[in-house]
């Protein structure tokens, strides 16, 4: 470890900076997270006066998130990452609350949780496990795509193989609907859809468009059934090595990138939907929209079959706390 830090010091000295941040993530630079990372990198370098250099590795170039979280971040091989919240549920089970289907009404409801007491409590739990958690970034609500048939009613998804992130709640969500949930790394999804290993996947509209999933999928249903967010984490060893003034720089750049990222998430999802609607009008893709009544059919199944299974793990009290924030001004 001493040799590792010495080599970093020698490399940084040659290039004129004092600290190097390797920031790893698994999506395209054109996604909300990708743009937020690039903005963060730019602001850190500006605010630090060049003392910190940020090297961004998108599209899983260094490793997939599970490896980054479990090994590379802890060993300071990667200094920062922004994995999806679902990736942390095996470490802090309560974070699984963000995977609970149909729990969040809209973007503002999610932000009340991210920015409020609940969000802070959950970040503290992650800190107790040895991670330096700066906060949450946004992507948006997830929709369902597939290659078999239109999905409007819950029974329409029965029997389909749907890719999910590694999360017990997401697996149970599809099991309750009679579908088959298959966990796999994000980098494998496109080929798995293309070769028919899986029938569909769930993701935000911007990701579906940027990753070109629509080229290997025939149908998309706007379900808004779950929220896709991220937690930005820092290597504990790297954080401990920073002087207080540079820690403040990183926190400030993070706050600015969070605000920008939220705007980009909304804008990019809207822009991507318009582009997919155009493709749909050309007959190459079909988009289905759930009415409030349709959505309630799905939600009732989740409340009956999925929620009770995770009351003990996630906390029934926590779920009720989030429900109470639905219509707060």
With helix as H, strand as E and coil as C, how does 137-183 read? EEEEEEEEEECCCCCCCHHHHCCCEEEECCCHHHHHHHHHCCCEEEE
DSSP states of 223-248: EEEEEEEEEEEE-HHHHHHS-HHHHH
pLDDT band, residue 98 (cuts 50/70/90): very high
What is the token pair recorded at 200?
A: 């569909």
In this model, does residue 14 exceed pLDDT 90?
no
Residue 1 pLDDT: 43
The residue ranking higher by pLDDT, 17 or 188, is 188
In this model, does residue 55 exceed pLDDT 90?
yes
DSSP states of 247-284: HHHHHHHHHHHHHHHHHHHHHHHHHHHHHHHHHHHTTS
Q: Which CATH class is domain 2-324?
A: alpha beta
User: How confident is the model over 306-327, as a mean pLDDT?
Assistant: 92
In this model, does residue 64 exceed pLDDT 90?
no
In this model, does residue 99 exceed pLDDT 70?
yes
Residue 15 pLDDT: 63
Q: Which helix (H) or strand (E) holds 102?
A: none
In this model, does residue 259 exceed pLDDT 80?
yes
User: pLDDT tens digits for 280-303?
Assistant: 999 989 999 999 999 999 999 999
User: pLDDT tens digits for 152-192?
Assistant: 999 999 999 999 998 899 999 999 999 999 999 898 999 99
- % of the chain residues with pLDDT over 70: 95
What is the token pair recorded at 204?
A: 């935000």
Distances (CA, A) of 20 to 5, 43, 53, 75: 11, 14, 5, 15
DSSP state of 1: -
| Mean pLDDT of the residues in the chain | 93
Residue 329 pLDDT: 64
User: How confident is the model over 203-229, as a mean pLDDT?
Assistant: 96
In this model, does residue 123 exceed pLDDT 50?
yes
pLDDT band, residue 3 (cuts 50/70/90): very low
CB burial readout 70-89, b (16+ within 10 A) else e: eebbeebbbbbbbbbbbbbb
Q: Is 288 exposed, middle or buried (0-12, 13-18, 19+ CB in 10 A)?
A: middle
């Amino acid at each position: 470890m001493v040799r590792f830090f010495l080599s970093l010091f020698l490399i940084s000295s040659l290039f004129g900076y004092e600290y190097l941040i390797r920031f790893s993530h698994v999506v395209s630079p054109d996604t909300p997270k990708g743009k937020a990372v690039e903005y963060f990198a730019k602001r850190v370098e500006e605010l630090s006066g060049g003392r910190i250099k940020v090297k961004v590795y998108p599209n899983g170039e260094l490793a997939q998130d599970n490896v980054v979280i479990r090994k590379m971040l802890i060993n300071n091989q990667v200094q920062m990452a922004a994995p999806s919240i679902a990736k942390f549920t095996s470490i802090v089970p309560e974070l699984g609350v963000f995977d609970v289907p149909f729990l969040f009404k809209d973007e503002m409801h999610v932000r009340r949780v991210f920015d409020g007491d609940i969000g802070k409590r959950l970040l503290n739990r992650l800190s107790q496990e040895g991670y330096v958690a700066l906060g949450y970034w946004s992507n948006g609500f997830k929709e369902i795509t597939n290659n078999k048939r239109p999905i409007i009613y819950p029974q329409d998804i029965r029997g389909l193989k749907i890719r999910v992130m590694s999360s017990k709640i997401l697996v149970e969500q599809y099991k309750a609907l009679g579908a088959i949930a298959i966990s796999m790394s994000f980098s494998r999804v496109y080929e798995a859809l293309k070769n028919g290993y899986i029938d569909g996947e769930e993701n935000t509209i911007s990701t579906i468009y940027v990753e070109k999933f629509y080229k290997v999928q025939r149908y998309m249903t706007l379900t808004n059934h779950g929220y896709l967010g991220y937690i930005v984490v820092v290597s504990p060893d790297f954080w401990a090595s920073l002087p207080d003034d540079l820690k403040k720089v990183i926190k400030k750049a993070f706050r600015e990138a969070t605000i920008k990222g939220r705007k980009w998430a909304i804008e990019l999802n809207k822009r991507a939907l318009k582009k997919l609607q155009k493709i749909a009008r050309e007959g190459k893709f079909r988009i289905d929209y759930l009415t409030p009544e349709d959505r309630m059919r799905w939600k009732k199944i989740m409340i009956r079959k999925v929620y009770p299974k995770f009351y003990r793990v996630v906390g029934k009290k926590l779920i009720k706390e989030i429900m109470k924030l639905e219509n707060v001004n």
